[in-house]
Structure 1
Amino acid sequence: MVDEAQPRDPAPAATAITAHSDFDPDDADWLVPAQPEHVVIAEPDPAWPERFRELADRIRAALGDAALEVEHVGSTSVPGMPAKPIIDIDLTVADSRDEDAYVAALEAAGFVFVLRERNWHEHRLFTNAAPRANLHVWGSDRAEAVRHRMLRDWLSEHADDRALYAAAKRAAAAKRAAAAQTADDPELVQAYNQRKEPVIREILDRMFRAHGLL
């Protein structure tokens, strides 16, 4: 789902869209330290799209024309997909490095600025407490945002890959990252993300080939 007020810039190059990147902890400037938590995979909730719309309205009210695109992405945007009950939103601005153009306005609207990743597409991450949401801010070159949108649409249309990804998510959530941990111990969400990443990349590469990008 997209809430779009302005025409898109030309699409990023195929090489930028198809390039996989590993999380770099040295590039992660945490303004609010990441906290361990239990990852819970919930069954699809028909309320998720409405929660996105409410959040998108807040973002647009806060930023006006500076919000070039506001898209519902991630598993809560895919009909029938189990997911962590956290709404993922991609916000495209002219230049994510220009924090003066959006940070204060988003904070005034209730979003918390938690992470800056300069080497990974100049990504900025905000969170919202209720409803729980992750707001990803990208510049107008938005290669990663294109990947997110393509994956959302692909999973919506391909039940086999949707089932494959759902199984990977459940398996990743059930497994502890370290042998010393037990099922009662929380962990950083990044460990969960890394365990399901091979399946995500398998699906992405299949999708890229189908679109003639690989």
Structure 2
Amino acid sequence: MPTRKQLTTFTDDDPPAGADPWVPGQHPEPPPEVVAYDPAWPAVYADLEARIRAVLGARVLEIHHVGSTSVPGLAAKPVIDIDLIVADPDAEDAYIPPLVAAGFVHRIREPWWWGHRMLRLDDPLVHLHVFDFTSPEAVRHRLFRDWLRQHPDDRDRYAAAKNEASAASAALGEHAMEYNARKQDVVREIYARLFAATGLTD
């Protein structure tokens, strides 16, 4: 479990000098357009969780629906974000081949950032993020999700930031990482309120 300091400190996930987070043959793509919340998304996630558990079995320490599609009423890119917690993300042979056999594509490898790997499924569109159980990022994802579920003002503030970032990135032909950077200030403002309200910061 991460410490309070780790939870409330955002570390730089840029690759070290000479490192490339993209698996060979993979590259950034423009993000999908932000759309209205779809009440079918929780059921889509439930089916995906069952499929992942079926191929990985006990390797799944935890699995969670995170990201905007996990927040009722929140506009979102139509991508189901899933956090998968495994014992050792560096032991790729334990979980990546079964997921690839199930249709996922391994796209990102970031061992310097809490062991993060990302796999993508195209139908339905899924980003499967893999972390170990010490990752503060995975815990933050769940805290952010639960906060937005309970605070509609911040949910709507975040939706506005997402729509603005999506429009700007689409106009400039930017990729998903640039889209994320455009909404980062609003995300950090919401986190600051969350951390203070929960007692994680003074």
For 2:26 and 2:101, how far apart are their aligned partners in 1? Answer: 21
Q: Which residue of 2 aligns with 1:30?
A: 22
Do 1:36 and 1:186's aligned partners in 2 also have CA atoms closer than 8 Å? no
- Residue 199 (structure 1) aligned with residue 199 (structure 2): no
Name the amino acid aligned to 1:75.
S
Please state how far the C-alpha of 1:174 moved relative to its aligned partner: 1.1
User: Segments of 4+ in structure 1 off by > 3 A?
Assistant: 25-28
Q: Which residue of 2 aligns with 1:6?
A: none
Name the amino acid aligned to 2:94.
A
Do 1:87 and 1:133's aligned partners in 2 also have CA atoms closer than 8 Å? yes
Do 2:31 and 2:179's aligned partners in 1 also have CA atoms closer than 8 Å? no
Please state how far the C-alpha of 1:48 moved relative to its aligned partner: 0.6
Name the amino acid aligned to 1:196.
K
- Residue 164 (structure 1) aligned with residue 164 (structure 2): no
Q: TM-score, normalised on structure 1?
A: 0.88
- Residue 121 (structure 1) aligned with residue 108 (structure 2): no
Name the amino acid aligned to 2:14.
D
- Residue 16 (structure 1) aligned with residue 43 (structure 2): no
Sequence identity percentage = 48
For 1:64 and 1:39, how far apart are their aligned partners in 2? Answer: 31
**Structure 2: stretches of 5+ with no match in the other structure:** none
Alignment of 1:22-171 (within 5 A): 22-26=12-16, 27-31=19-23, 32-171=25-164
Report how many aligned residue pairs link the two structures: 198
Do 2:37 and 2:69's aligned partners in 1 also have CA atoms closer than 8 Å? yes
Q: Which residue of 1 aligns with 2:199?
A: 212
For 2:113 and 2:15, how far apart are their aligned partners in 1? Answer: 11
For 1:65 and 1:24, how far apart are their aligned partners in 2? Answer: 31
Task: For residues 183-207 of structure 1, give each alpha carbon's deviation from its aligned partner in whole angstroms, at most 9, with x where no partner exists.
Answer: 2x53211000000001001101110
Please state how far the C-alpha of 1:38 moved relative to its aligned partner: 4.9
Please state how far the C-alpha of 1:28 moved relative to its aligned partner: 4.0
For 1:38 and 1:140, how far apart are their aligned partners in 2? Answer: 28
**Structure 1: stretches of 5+ with no match in the other structure:** 1-10, 177-181
Please state how far the C-alpha of 1:128 moved relative to its aligned partner: 0.3
